[in-house]
Amino acid sequence: MRYNSPLSLEEKLRFKVKSSNLNSITEIAFYKAIVNKKSPNKVAKMPKIRVALIGVGNCASAFVQGIEYYGNLKQEEEYVGLRNPRLGGLSPDDIEVVAAFDVDERKVGKDLAEAIFAKPNNAPRVVEVPVTGIIVNKGPVMDGVGKSTQNILQISTLPDANVAETLRAANAEIVINLLPSGANQASRWYTEQALAARCAFVNATPNFIASEAIWARRFEENGLQLVGDDLVDQAGSTALHKTLLELLSMNGVKITETYQLDVGGGTESLETLDRTRETKRIIKTESVESALPYKAEVVAGSTEYVDFLQNKRDSYFWISGVYFCNTPLQIDLKFSTVDAPNAGSVLFDVVRALRIAADKKLKGSIVPICAYAFKRPPKKMSIETAEKAFEKFVTED
Ligand SMILES: NC(=O)c1ccc[n+]([C@@H]2O[C@H](COP(=O)([O-])OP(=O)(O)OC[C@H]3O[C@@H](n4cnc5c(N)ncnc54)[C@H](O)[C@@H]3O)[C@@H](O)[C@H]2O)c1
């Protein structure tokens, strides 16, 4: 499903401009320009969405490369690989990275365009990124380095930046947490920095932040938005698993046992093996179980690390059940993806949806974004219900 197809957008805009239920002067100018068939860029450009990245790892690399890749395309029809070329009138080109933080000496002090390709990152290089002028700041290490990554990461000796102050100076509006999954303490610390700098916060990691009422309340009290936890993938193994189970059980098949096991090669797979195997397993198993209206033996989210796979991931699915007259069936499936690009399209949707939320003056945990884009939202919904809630949120005033 794509939101805001050109025709329905124009109809919606006519209504918006007529009823003047717009939130900001720039928004009114932008919409009026489209209704009057002028290029909005020539009349009034929507201010770019100013994003700060915590952790310049593989996901950050895919995100920054994606902004450049899609920004270079002339026609929207060329935007292959995006769920929503435009969302709320915004394209990926409307996203701008204004600050970034890491701890590795191969990234800290370097321009973001160089840092995203520095080792140990191994996300594929799909585009050349010109010098950005954004120098990666040093963040405090805290629990950002685990046992398994201590021989891989090379900690910079540069002094730690004042993170809240840097976010404020960069005029960042959204902070995206892309720390290693075991960095629980650091994730919470950066959440505090986002609050202090008055930024919305995206927790893409499997640490529990947006799903904890206390954080949602603090963001609400500060008039800011919070979304998370644990980003879903665009071509996600959990979604594929759940869809298969839903389809089978809807047709009367009784699933008795099922598992999904991953093998990957990025630093994050190593990290998962070492520090977050259990958390990941809980999140994914709970999520897959919710696809069945009855109890079955479910195991999902166990990860193995194979270094030569680089940033690739192989997911293995096994489903066993019975159908008519107790006849057995089995599915044995392998699904291969590359990890980092799998986060790009969903992150683009999250960032643009957060701009919409801010324009609507929403605060605290933004339930439709969380349910649509995260594996452990504060309120769980089926894939279909989450899709509908997100569409309604994006298109309705
Ligand atoms: N498709 C996906 O890749 C996907 C999907 C869902 C969730 N996630 C989550 O996104 C997060 C990032 O994944 P990734 O593959 O980019 O990981 P990564 O290991 O490639 O990147 C993590 C980065 O954080 C940096 N870092 C460590 N401690 C730090 C600190 N204290 N301050 C600042 N930077 C620090 C590391 O040097 C590294 O550059 C993970 O938590 C992962 O679970 C990823």
**273 CA from centroid of ligand 1 (Å):** 14
Average pLDDT over residues 170-199: 97
In angstroms, what is the span from residue 103 Cα to ligand 1's centroid?
11
Peptide bond preceding 143 in cis form (omega within 30 of 0): no
The number of CA neighbours under 13 Å toward the Cβ of 20 is 1
Q: Kindly report the backbone phi and psi dihedral angles of residue 322, in degrees, each rounded to the nearest multiple of 5, phi listed first.
A: -130, 150
CA of 385 to the centre of ligand 1 (A): 29
Question: Is ligand 1 within 6 A of the CB of residue 267?
Answer: yes
Residue 344 Cβ < 6 Å to ligand 1 = no
Percentage above 90 pLDDT, the chain: 76
| Average pLDDT for 170-189 | 97
Cα-to-centroid distance, 27 and ligand 1 (Å) = 34
Which of 250, 240, 325 lies closest to 292, judged by CA? 250
- pLDDT at residue 3, as a whole number: 53
Site of tokens 């890491």: 102
> Is 29's pLDDT higher than 50?
no
Taking residues 305-332, what's their average pLDDT? 96
Which one, of 252, 253, 264, lies nearest residue 335 by Cα? 264
Element (H, E) at 333: strand 327-338
pLDDT(38) > 80: no
DSSP string covering 338-362: ETTHHHHHHHHHHHHHHHHHHHTT-
pLDDT for residue 45: 63
Residue 209 pLDDT > 50: yes
What residue's CA is closest to ligand 1, atom 29?
144
Q: Which atom of ligand 1 is nearest to the CA of 141?
A: 31
Average pLDDT, stretch 285-298? Answer: 92
pLDDT tens per residue, range 221-231: 999 999 999 99
Nearest to 339 by CA among 146, 208, 181, 228: 181
Tens-digit pLDDT profile for residues 342-370:
999 999 999 999 999 999 999 999 999 99
Could you tell me the CA-to-CA distances from 143 to 104, 140, 275 in Å, in that order?
Answer: 14, 9, 11
pLDDT at 230: 93
Q: What is the pTM of this model?
A: 0.88
